Amino acid sequence: MWQCDKRIGYVLKMYPRFSETFVVNEIRGREAQGEQLEIFSLRLPVDGRFQESLAGVRAPVTYLQHGSLRGAGIWQSLREAQTVFGDLGPHLPDLLRADVQDAVQALELAVLVRRRGIEHLHAHFASAATTVARAAAAIAGVPYSFTAHAKDIFHDSVDPEDLERKLAGAHHVVTVSDYNLAHLRERFPTACSRLVRVYNGLDLDRFPRSAEDRAPGVVAVGRLVEKKGFSVLVQAVAELRRAGRDVRCSIVGGGELATALAEQVDRLGVRDLVTLTGPLPQSGVASIVAGTQVLAAPCVIGSDGNADGLPTVLLEALAVGTACVSTTVTGIPEVVRDGETGMLVPPGDPVALAASVRRLLDDAALRTHLADAGRLLVESQFDGRRQARELRSLVEAGHPVAPSEATRAAGVMA
């Protein structure tokens, strides 16, 4: 196994987070390639439950100071950083621009980077985690990189000047879809020379192609928030009932819209068809996805501009051979290729969604065709080992290059 000598610090807003399985997948994949990682979390976890795959993460976790900060604590952080690094004057503009908690955490992280021999910082999401990583990296004299996903790009609250500074100053920037890549390059043309697309990956050994004996019906998985479009799915189930077809539907996840969705289910008279399961562990999600004929990801653009990047559950469903129907939002068509690996409908269209769900349920040959092609796509483009090699090569490269070029430069198969 190839061994990376560089120690890499992963900076995350909250670790672990129940819904962010892609972060755990990435960390495990990089560790399997021999990389030495440490995790720095800006917040304590609040989810109250954890995914089983966390047990496979070897990286130690440090929780940076957070919560209510007093003057004495802030002064102590400045004093300690000054002792380690000397003059902090050149870094004051960045520190003063940041929220006070982000600034104090950046000082603390910089000291830990120096003392623990961390040689590179990588953050997930271009928001608070990258704010802290960028400032800490500048103080400690190490490079930083980050992965841009969705909310940190598309949400109305994103500060474009702040995002541009982060893009321009990074050793490299990863984003998770070609859609995101094109969007960022168009919006920030002079700051994206170090931007590359690296797809999220799966541990395919944990998601084998499952048997064809599946329960008729549809399943959806994700946080119960607007951008997931689950209200559209509930409407689609009601449309199918009005057309004389009862389709059982399970919606897996928790979130702020749980009460509203339950009320909608009752209002549309489909309580006997739609089950809101609440959150399930990864094993439970994998079981219900692999055991159901159709997975729906009816994503929409939220009223606040927020959108999904490329939902991990779509990759998992394609890996196990579950037929997928989704929408034309952001990078989703890169994995759900209409008529090839799945079916696509316009976002926010319950009639079209109902028609596609019905077609998939009624056509076993179509489901098999899509499942075969979907599995091949995931194996070729979304294997976690490929992702880990590309990310490793980007860190090792003296200058940013496309992932395929970086991987070849490292002497490994892409």
Which tens digits make up the pLDDT trace of 344-353? Answer: 999 999 999 9
What domain range includes position 309?
A: 204-380
Same domain assignment for residues 193 and 245: no
If asked whether residues 361 and 395 sit together in one domain, one would say no
With respect to residue 298, please indicate whether it lies within any of the assigned structural domains: yes
Return the pLDDT at 404: 38
Q: What are the pLDDT tens digits along the chain (414 aa)? A: 445 578 999 999 999 987 888 999 999 999 999 999 999 999 998 876 667 778 889 999 999 988 767 777 788 888 999 999 999 999 999 899 999 999 999 999 999 999 999 999 999 999 999 999 999 999 999 999 999 999 999 999 999 999 999 999 999 999 999 999 999 999 999 999 999 999 999 999 999 998 778 999 999 999 999 999 999 999 999 999 999 999 999 999 999 999 999 999 999 999 999 999 999 988 899 999 999 999 999 999 999 999 998 999 999 999 999 999 999 999 999 999 999 999 999 999 999 999 999 999 999 999 999 999 999 999 999 999 999 999 999 999 865 444 333 333 333 332
Asked whether residue 2 is domain-assigned, the answer is: no
Q: Would residue 231 count as lying in a domain?
A: yes
User: What are residue 190's phi and psi, to 5 degrees?
Assistant: -95, -5
- As a whole number of angstroms, the distance between CA 345 and CA 349 comes to 7
Q: Are 355 and 244 contained in the same domain?
A: yes
Residue 37's pLDDT is 98
**Alpha-carbon distances, residue 180 vs 108, 159, 281, 314, 332 (angstroms):** 32, 17, 29, 17, 11
Residues 68 and 167 both lie in one domain = yes
Question: Looking at the domain assignment, is residue 173 inside a domain?
Answer: yes
Answer whether residue 122 is part of any domain: yes
- Work out how many domains the chain is built from and give that number: 2
- Residue 154 forms part of a structural domain: yes
**Claim to verify: residue 194 and residue 256 sit in the same structural domain:** no
Both 370 and 231 in one domain: the answer is: yes
Residues 229 and 157 in one domain: no
Q: What is the 3-state secondary structure (H, E, C) of the chain?
A: CCCCCCEEEEEEEECCCCCCHHHHHHHHHHHHCCCEEEEEEEECCCCCCCCHHHHHCCCCEEECCCCCCCHHHHHHHHHHHHHHHCCCHHHHHHHHHCCHHHHHHHHHHHHHHHHHCCCEEEEECCCHHHHHHHHHHHHHCCCEEEEECCHHHHCCCCCHHHHHHHHHHCCEEEECCHHHHHHHHHHCCCCCCCEEECCCCECHHHCCCCCCCCEEEEEEECCCCHHHCHHHHHHHHHHHHHCCCCCCEEEECCCCCHHHHHHHHHHCCCCCCEEEEECCCHHHHHHHHHCEEEEEECCCCCCCCCCCCCCHHHHHHHHHCCEEEEECCCCHHHCCCECCCEEEECCCCHHHHHHHHHHHHHCHHHHHHHHHHHHHHHHHHCEHHHHHHHHHHHHHCCCCCCHHHHHHHCCCCC
Note whether residue 414 is domain-resident.
no
Q: Write down the pLDDT at residue 399.
A: 52
Instruction: Indicate which CATH number applies to the domain containing 170.
Output: 3.40.50.2000
Residues 285 and 195 in one domain: no
Q: Is 269 left (phi over 0), alpha (psi -120 to 50) or beta?
A: left
- Are 152 and 48 members of one domain? yes
In this structure, the answer to whether residues 61 and 191 fall within a common structural domain is yes
Tell me the C-alpha distance between 326 and 220, whole Å.
10
- Torsion over CA: 399, 128, 54, 214 (sign): negative
In a domain, 394, yes or no: yes
pTM of the model: 0.91
Predicted local distance difference test score (pLDDT) of residue 14: 95
Residues 374 and 236 in one domain: yes
11 & 131 share domain: yes
